[in-house]
Amino acid sequence: MSDATAIPSAASEPKRRSGLAQFCLRMVREKPLGTACAIIVLLLIFVAIFADALAPYPYQEVHLVDRMQGPSTQYIMGTDQLGRDLFSRIIYGTRISLLVGLAVTVISVTISTLIGGASGFLGGKFDLLVQRFCDAWNCFPYLLILLTVMSIVGRGLIQIILVMGIAGGLGGSRVIRGAVFAIKENVYFEAAESVGSSKWHTFAQHVIPNVMPIIIIGFSMSIGGVILALASLSFLGFGLPPGMPDWGGLLSMEGRKYMEMAPWLALWPGLALTMVVYCLNMFGDALRDLLDPRMRGGVGRYGATKKGKTGILARLMSGIRAIKPAGENRPT
């Protein structure tokens, strides 16, 4: 009899969701703007992967008869001074921009994790030497470093990925170092040393997993900045070669020269660049608010969360209002 009653109770228990499913549901409930931006980013990744099938024309195909035509049913976004379809060039530009953004961010986050993590974990003279070098590196503007190095190594896809990845990795190592310092004095580090664990084993098994939320947040929020820096370099003439249709090159070459005659040549690449950078930044903000323990209960950059949660400033102001004046409790 007891077995018969145990079976329905076990079957009636709700099925537990995985951690990823719970995180996705929480993001949909608490960060609707971040969720919408994440969907747009996924659509852009789909466009970048299947650019050959989605683009109506090859990006270098010339139609001299249809030069400088405005948006129409044949050419959705118009054509440039050589009759090339602007819609196709923007689709291929999505692939190039996301490829460079992801590759550069992977390199920079890896360098930041290794340098900043090792510097914060080992400490001592090694930390002092590494951080003084990073401080000297951060004294120079990021764009100035890119312009100087790219003028030396020349324009190219591999060159720009390596230069931007190394430059961004050295500059961002201090964030990882600070996160390592915050968890370095926990008890499980002493427990690992007491059982004879080596420093590198402790670093790989305890340091990296505990700073992984910071790494994920930095990864998601860096892609937009990389794409914007790539567009800036291409606009200034130090980015990708002219044959590659990246958005900054479209703004610099066709858009700047023929802006008054054909404004769509600058409008559509500018809108594409703005949308991608905005969506990536908002998605990174949503991940930061959900993953970073210091942001729990906060409102982030773009709106309040549900269930009446307020940010640090709002809680501070409410606490100030709750304090009574000093003379209010004095006996008369």
Residue 156, CA distances (Å) to 96, 162, 237, 304 in order: 12, 10, 12, 43
| DSSP letter for each residue of 188-217 | HHHHHHHTT--HHHHIIIIIHHHTHHHHHH
pLDDT of residue 39: 93
**For 124-160, how does the pLDDT look when each residue is reduced to its tens digit (9 = 90+)?**
888 889 888 988 888 888 888 899 999 898 888 899 9
Residue whose C-alpha is closest to residue 97's, from 230, 293, 262: 230
**For 6-15, how does the pLDDT look when each residue is reduced to its tens digit (9 = 90+)?**
444 444 445 5
Tokens of 206: 């305890």
Quote the pTM value: 0.75
Residue whose C-alpha is closest to residue 162's, from 234, 248, 245, 226: 226
Burial class (CB in 10 A: 0-12, 13-18, 19+), 243: exposed
Task: Indicate the domain borders of the chain.
Answer: 96-292
Tokens of 181: 């310092």
User: Does residue 73 or residue 252 have the better pLDDT?
Assistant: 73
Tokens of 73: 């049913």
What is the CATH code for 96-292?
1.10.3720.10
